[in-house]
Structure 1
Amino acid sequence: MLLNEIRSTKFKSVVQTITYLPHFLSWVIFGGLFITLLNSDGIVNYMLGRLHLIDSPLQFLADPSYFWGVAIGTGLLKDIGWGAILYLAAMAGVDQSLHEAASIDGAGRFKRMLHITIPGILPTLMVLIIFAVSGMLNNNFTQIYVLQNSLNLPASQVIDTYVYQTGLLNFQFSSATAIGLMKSVFALLLLFGANTLSKKITKSGLF
């Protein structure tokens, strides 16, 4: 929403380009880059040390307590620009005459965002939230697999990597199939539950 309010088209284009670029990199490249940056002798530990924020290098990918912070942070950096495309497209479809009328009535940018933009993109927002809820059990396998190692395994083991290890590494195909099937069943239940709740609260849903 803040990006949509930027008046300078050149600055807006630069920000969009920079935030979109990571999406087109594979997790092997993007994850490998962050593994290098977060190493004990990487640039992140070097900068923290130079700023006297740490006394010894932090083991970001060796300490399980740091794993999900790294996973969430890298996931946001990689996909935040691509996800913004959907919201920018939805905001472009909001009737501009509403903004003009509100501006004449004395509404500032924040009030127009709150009372016009958000209600205008609510259907798109709810669809994306429903998809996000139904996909809660779907971790990004490639991301987790790239960042995972034997030291952070207690925190980084998720359903997808467990199914991979059970089925393809341990050759327990029946167990892996059963786990994957149950995950799909729970995802379907989450989808219907989120859609029903959305329709009751906002009168907007996926179906």
Structure 2
Amino acid sequence: MKRDKFLYMLALPGILFMILFKYVPMWGIIIAFQNYSPYRGVLGSDWVGLEHFIRFFSNPDFMMLFRNTMAINLMNLVFYFPLPIIIALLLNEVMSKPFKKLLQSIVYLPHFLSWVIIVGITIMMLTRTDGSINNLLVYFGFEKIDFLTNPKLFWILLTVQSIWKEAGWGTIIFLAAIAGLDTQLYEAAKMDGAKRLRQFWHITLPGIRSVILILLILRIGNIMDVGFEQVFLMGNGAVSNVGEVFDTYVYRLGIQQGQFSFSTAVGLFKSVVGLVLVVIANKLAKRFGEEGVY
């Protein structure tokens, strides 16, 4: 520690953040097994054991919440997760550095917009009354579409928003992994007559495979987390059956209705499922010869 004191000082803000906002709040898990009362505190509240978990699993809303959360995350996993890899591979093929930097800036920009702005733009474009998309449909002789109140389109809209906002930002790690590959491999492949596609298939993809698997494992671990802001802002009464997820459910019961113990039990269930999925995915990765997360 004396030798690398400056490195530890550099890591100190991140370590403090993890301790204060990730580990210290774990104390609050206790109230999932209590009838918590803010007036009596954690130590003075009555213990009820697994009562809140039993109530949650026997609730008719459980299957709806589980279905919506899993469906949205699986759509993101299938359609969103591969896109940063594809974009990174395409950007890597751009030879002009100024043009490459311009493209990177364009695809990175949406990441810095808040979900409030993203949803606001979506509503302005898709609203039935004066949305630009519906105006174009009318102009070309088609009927208007209820994009925002159609339950069949809700999951698709969320996926498209996530792709537009985060796909470009997700390329940073993959571009860094590609930049770390040995250039001599490409030179040797060229001498052997390998074209661009062969180089991509036999050098680039195997070289970043471990990074892809690590990020995939971490993504699977967050499969129960949809993202509160996006779903909450996009939701309305017409799509409540497909738009209610664990995050919004916890907010509605825990914050609005004051059921702190019950909402904590729901959050704990999400965390346990995420932990189990990470462990399983990591073991599968190691079984197939990869390093995994740990």
Equivalent residue for 2:206, pick from 100, 119, 126? 119
> Matched residues in 1 for 2:287 and 2:136: separation?
50
- The CA deviation at 1:50 is 2.9
The structural deviation recorded for 1:11 is 2.2
C-alpha distance 151-193 of structure 1, shift in aligned 2 (>3 A): same
| Pair 1:151-2:244 in alignment | no
- 2:253 equivalent to 1:166: yes
Q: CA RMSD in A?
A: 1.1
1:4 aligns with 2:87: no
State the match for 1:14 in structure 2. Answer: 102
Alignment correspondent of 1:50:
139
Is 1:36 matched with 2:124?
A: yes
Q: Does the CA-based 8 Å contact 1:195-1:205 persist in structure 2? A: yes
Shift, 1:172, TM fit? 1.2
- Amino acid in the other structure paired with 1:185: V
**Conserved 8 A contact 1:19-1:81:** yes
Which whole-Å CA distance do the structure 2 matches of 1:177 and 1:101 have between them?
A: 57
Structure 1: unaligned runs, 5 residues or longer: none
Which one-letter code corresponds to 1:50 in the other structure? Answer: Y
Deviation of the 1:104 alpha carbon: 0.9
CA contact (8 A) 1:67 1:152 kept: yes
Percent identity for Structure 1 against Structure 2: 41
Q: Which digits, 9 at most, give the CA deviation of each residue in 1:155-196, with x for residues without a partner? A: 111110011111111211111010100110000000101111
User: Do the aligned partners of 1:38 and 1:60 also contact (CA within 8 Å) in 2?
Assistant: yes
Asked if 2 retains the 8 angstrom alpha-carbon contact of 1:167 and 1:175, the reply is yes
Code of the residue aligned with 1:118 in structure 2: it is L
Q: Which amino acid aligns with 2:199?
A: R
Alignment pair present for 1:192 and 2:279:
yes
Q: Residue 81 of structure 1: SS of its match in structure 2?
A: coil
2:22 is matched with: none
Is contact 1:102-1:112 (8 Å) kept? yes
Structure-to-structure mapping, 1:53-132, within 5 angstroms: 55-132=142-219
DSSP 3-state at the match of 1:58 = coil
CA deviations 1:15-74 (Å, max 9, x no partner) are 11111011001101111111111111211122233344xx32111111111101000000
Structure 2: any 5+ residue segments left out of the alignment? 1-88
**For the Cα contact (< 8 Å) 2:119–2:234, is it kept in 1?**
yes
Return the alpha-carbon distance in structure 1 between the equivalents of residues 95 and 148 of structure 2: 40
Moved more, 162-171 or 68-77: 162-171
Conserved? CA contact 2:137–2:143, under 8 Å: no
Report how many aligned residue pairs link the two structures.
205
Please give the TM-score of this superposition, normalised by the length of structure 2.
Answer: 0.68
The structure whose Rg is larger is: 2
- Matching residue's letter, 1:47: L
Measured after TM superposition, the shift of residue 8 of structure 1 is 1.9
2:52 equivalent in structure 1: none
TM-score scaled by length of structure 1: 0.95
Assess if the C-alpha contact under 8 Å between 2:126 and 2:134 holds in 1. Answer: yes
Contact 1:19–1:82 (CA under 8 A) maintained in structure 2 = yes
